[in-house]
A and B are shown apart, each in its own frame.
Chain A
Amino acid sequence: MGKITNEELLKNINTKFEGQLTLVGEPFGLLTLETGREQIIDILTYLKTDLSLQFIYLTDITAIHYPEQEKPIGVIYHLHSLINNVRIRIKVFLPDGDFHIPTATTVWDGANWMERETYDYFGVIFDGHPDLRRILNVDDMTAFPMRKEFPLEDPNRVDKKDYFFGR
């Protein structure tokens, strides 16, 4: 596997950003950290530019919605260090009613459409994004369809109740 272990990686980030990150876990060997939106761009820039880490490849930006949580929407970054062949996942949870986060387009050009998709699905507003419009859904749509409260099908239908199908 990689030239750098998750422990070294965690130690490296923790010395630079003391106390600003919390370890979520290592599901299937992928180091997962959580941080706040204030320092996310600093962390991403550091991960990209630090010579021993070089997470130069932005694999993905997406989000997730947990309606019961105090901070319901989490933005999830997947980065990949091609030199060390290590991946890292960083989550930023946003408080209800204030889904603002600074844009990562300043770090990677490729973040542009990934953030537009996340905005389109979840309504996360990426501050400073050059062109934050809906990308897959129509422009005049008002809802954010990937939030959990948005129904998949017309809720008034009676012939297709989910409990008939065990779901």
Chain B
Amino acid sequence: MQNHPVYSDNDPQNELSTLNLGPTHPATHGVFQNVLQLDGERIVSGVSTIGYIHRAFEKIAEHRPFYQITPLTDRLNYCSSPINNMGWHMTVEKLLGIETPKRVDYLRIIVMELARISDHIICNGVLGVDTGAFTGFLYMMEYREAIYEIYEEVCGSRLTTNIGRIGGFERNFNAIAFSKLRKFLKEFPPVLKEFESLFNRNRIFVDRTKGVAEVTAEAALSYSWSGPLLRAAGVDYDVRAMNPYSSYEDFDFEVPVGENGDVYSRFLVRNEEMKQSLRLIEQALVKLEKEPTDIFHADVPEFYLPPKEEVYNNMEALIYHFKIVMGEVPTPATEVYHSVEGANGELGFYLVNDGGRAPYRLHFRRPSFINYQMYAPMSRGMLLSDAIINMSSLNVIAGELDA
């Protein structure tokens, strides 16, 4: 951080100006407020105010059965809802001791990695917009649309997906979903390559991002950073590699690590992660060929809603349907922490269950919330324009920040 003159309040030469950056500023891409003290264009101090879209998810979750909490998780990081959904399903499955079939795990990996790509598309595209390059954003956005169309085939919705159920998926992937997926896998890599060649050696972009907001590995760890931000600072912590879930251990992928934790290395790490995600999806498709095509959920009738036709025609299915909806299936009274590698970092679910229908306590470890707290301290001494692109590269999502 550069040196800058510090004025005190009594100083007659105190010419600091106060700037309310946000809560609805076009440059902040979400509801973030930072009250900044500026000396010219340099930030002297800042205070972050958050909570503008706080919706009390943790309180609501204490009054809802497990399967009704999934829509709440959609609205955490709404740029990559499927990862949140899957993380929640896996937490409940861990609690209930449900083992999912391999095919379900692989399908989940496909959906989660697509979500990671769509999240990184937004983050890196927007970073380009903030540095003055609109082309990359619009070019990549087309492929986020392609990903959303795949979601649509799988679950029927696009943004807040509510994808999957406890034990698996609500329906099987159809042929159109697979053909759209293959089309995406074929068309996206050259676009990503072109996107990289637009930016990676672009003089303006490199000047704007390289050396901006450098973060050391020690500082990143002390602030509990996770995800691409921590990896850009040089720490190879990835939940997928360290504590594999959903059969990530069957896959061959690399954890890209940056060097100096600046905006540029975060950009590079995210681009590289998209390539790794594509690799994972391709491997998953190959592995799926060896799995039976009709399995899309675990055989857990106590927790997985039976198909409607069976509910009307089959006594057993009717009983299970009733028991699930009325919450009469006993659950173990214990506590569980499960984390997945969200697009922004370690997304954790701490669930305390008392054997009832709803969680006794559910806490979301939200990476955006934890990553964002370093923003005001690290902005000190930074130029305002650098602070803007620093915020874009943190990829803080308001829904996840405020829960």
Residues of A within 8 A of B (CB): 27-28, 30, 32, 56-60, 62, 64-65, 76, 78, 82, 85, 87, 89, 108-110, 112-114, 117, 121, 134-138, 145-146, 150, 152, 162, 166-167
Contacts and interface: CB of A to CB of B under 8 A. Distances in A.
B99 interface: no
Interface string B345-378: 0101010100001101101010001101110010
A89 to B, nearest CB: 7
Contact of A110 (B51, B222, B363, B402): B222
Given A56-B221, A62-B363, A136-B50, 4 more contacts: A60-B365, A110-B373, A134-B51, A146-B58
Contacts of B403: 136
Please provide the 9 A-B residue pairs with the shortest distance between their CB atoms, ordered closest to farther.
A110-B224, A136-B51, A113-B373, A110-B223, A136-B54, A62-B363, A60-B365, A109-B222, A166-B326
Given A76-B350, A110-B222, A167 B51 contact: no
Nearest to B334: A27
Contacts of A167: 63-65, 327, 357-358
B363 A137 contact: no
A62 B350 contact: yes
A117 B361 CA distance: 15
Interface in B236-251: 237, 242-243
11 contacts: A57-B224, A64-B360, A65-B361, A78-B350, A82-B242, A109-B219, A110-B374, A113-B369, A145-B59, A152-B63, A166-B327
A7 to B, nearest CB: 20
Interface of B: 50-51, 54, 56, 58-60, 62-65, 94, 219, 221-225, 235, 237, 242-243, 326-327, 334-337, 339, 346, 348, 350, 352, 357-358, 360-361, 363, 365, 369-370, 372-374, 377, 402-403
Given A113-B370, A166-B327, A28 B336 contact: yes
A78 B223 contact: no
B222 A112 contact: no
A62 B360 CA distance: 14
B348 to A, nearest CB: 6
A141 to B, nearest CB: 11
B357 to A, nearest CB: 6
A30 B334 CA distance: 12
A63 to B, nearest CB: 9
B366 to A, nearest CB: 10
Contacts, number: 97
A137 B224 CA distance: 23
A50 to B, nearest CB: 16
Given A56-B221, A87-B337, A166 B370 contact: no
Contacts of B221: 56-57
B313 to A, nearest CB: 25
Contacts of A150: 59
Contacts of A82: 235, 237, 242
B96 to A, nearest CB: 11
A167 B346 CA distance: 31
Nearest to B223: A110
Contact of B370 (A28, A65, A110, A152): A110
Contacts of A62: 350, 363
Nearest to B218: A56
Contact of B346 (A32, A59, A112, A137): A59
B250 to A, nearest CB: 17
Nearest to A121: B58
B327 A59 contact: no
A9 B106 CA distance: 34
Contact of B54 (A64, A109, A137): A137
B235 to A, nearest CB: 8
A167 B326 CA distance: 8
Contact of A85 (B63, B224, B243, B373): B243
A64 B348 contact: no
Given A64-B352, A152-B60, A78 B224 contact: no
A150 B352 CA distance: 18
Given A30-B337, A89-B337, A137-B51, A145 B363 contact: no
